Amino acid sequence: MSLFEKFQPIVDIRAELEAVGVMPFGAVTEKILSPTEAIVNGRKVILAGTNNYLGLTFDPECIAAAKQAIDELGTGTTGSRMANGTFIDHVRLEQELAQFFDRGHAIVFSTGYAATMGMGSTLAGPGDVIVLDADSHASIYDGVRLGGADIVRFRHNDVADLEKRLRRLGERVENTLIIVEGMYSMLGDQAPLADIAEVKQRYGGMLLVDEAHSLGMLGKHGRGVAEAAGVEDAVDFVVGTFSKSLGATGGYCVSNHAELEAVRFAIRSYIFTASPSPSVVASTRVALRLMQERPELRDRLWENAHRLYAGLKQLGFKVSPEVSPVVAVTIEDRDQSIAWWARLLQAGAYVNLVMPPASPGDYSLLRCSVSAAHSSVQIDSILDAFASLGNTE
């Protein structure tokens, strides 16, 4: 029995893909040309699967701020937030996030994964309960498993099932953390947060919402699904990332609970890792400001979302349940999803292939996502690539 034996299924899939000349996982971007174009496998393609929702990765102001930070502060902090790695700009970014979310407290993490995983593993421990949506992101699952709380899953977006499980907990609900995402990353569907908040208020417990995908996208100020649903007061903790709408890397948690300042000192993914580099913090701060100053980016994002969604539907593809900047095409036959991914790439559209267990359910997804930086012509080119797949039956 070798340590490597358990990886055999992965070895087999890789061999299978190589035999048909496709490597959808970790395909190498040889050159990045703009927020929406790159050279992949020697071809110029439209990037149709990034999370660059507002298209800010090449914004001149963000780039200038990052360059200046490198000149003035160096390439890295070489230390944890808890030791030598808290620079004044980390503190400023925390203040700006707290202000943006209109909350009292904020923590900046090195990645979104560290934020979600860290909060999930720290807030609820042995003897506590986590009740989470079954389709939660890996970072949520990893965190809650690490924390040692009892884990209860409810059916994806099923509030009646959530309620049933909270009811069954009886008094233990007091020590319960409910975790959901605002917008789900694979299908782009939104949590019914108004109903979830109502159930939470009735039964008790605390609510954490991962707004990784909805920042800058939804709500009057762009604070996400909770803001759009008008239930921010019922949300105890919001976590999210700088790696999508803000075009960098890093993560955050914001809350009105003053205890967050104590929790900070117990989060291992915050303590035992180097803090975000000065350039990352600098571009993130500018992106956070630009996101608020340029509502037209959001308008463009949603125009593109509607265009791609309507176009794919018209072509006869099975698309996600609701219009969203994330538009996933569902394919039941795994081999077909692999073949189509490769053909789309050849036709100039680079989308994400997602296969079980990463996709919710037993089917594969061609996960497309749009950016405010896509032109209508580019969206139409993505649609042309899908049309070239031919019969969608």
The 3-state DSSP class for residue 312 equals helix
Q: For residues 103 and 213, which CB has a smaller minimum distance to ligand PMP in the complex?
A: 213
Asked if 210 touches ligand PMP (CB under 6 A), the answer is yes
Asked if 112 touches ligand PMP (CB under 6 A), the answer is yes
Report the distance separating Cα 3 and Cα 199, nearest Å.
45
Least separation in angstroms between CB 228 and ligand PMP: 17
Q: For residues 169 and 328, which CB has a smaller minimum distance to ligand PMP in the complex?
A: 328
Asked if 367 touches ligand PMP (CB under 6 A), the answer is no
Contact 238, 224 (CB under 8 A): yes
Stretch that binds ligand PMP, among 52-60, 157-165, 210-218, 311-319 (CB under 6 A): 210-218
Asked if 128 touches ligand PMP (CB under 6 A), the answer is no
**Residue number closest to ligand PMP, CB atom:** 112
Q: Classify residue 384 by burial, with Cβ atoms within 10 Å: 0-12, 13-18, 19+.
A: middle
Backbone angles phi, psi at 44, to 5 degrees: -80, 125
Asked if 113 touches ligand PMP (CB under 6 A), the answer is yes
Least separation in angstroms between CB 140 and ligand PMP: 7
* Residues of span 247-286 touching ligand PMP by CB under 6 A: 251
The 3-state DSSP class for residue 101 equals helix
Instruction: Say whether 213 is catalytic.
Output: yes
Report the distance separating Cα 58 and Cα 55, nearest Å.
7
Upper half-sphere CA count for residue 112 (Cβ side, 13 Å): 25
Instruction: Say whether 244 is catalytic.
Output: yes
Asked if 81 touches ligand PMP (CB under 6 A), the answer is no
Q: Which position among 243, 273, 275, 359 is part of the footprint of ligand PMP (CB under 6 A)?
A: 243
Report the distance separating Cα 250 and Cα 20, nearest Å.
36
* Bond into 321 cis (ω within 30): no
Q: Would you tell me which residues interact with ligand PMP (CB under 6 A)? A: 111-113, 116, 137, 139, 181, 185, 210, 212-213, 241, 243, 251
Catalytic residues: 185, 213, 244
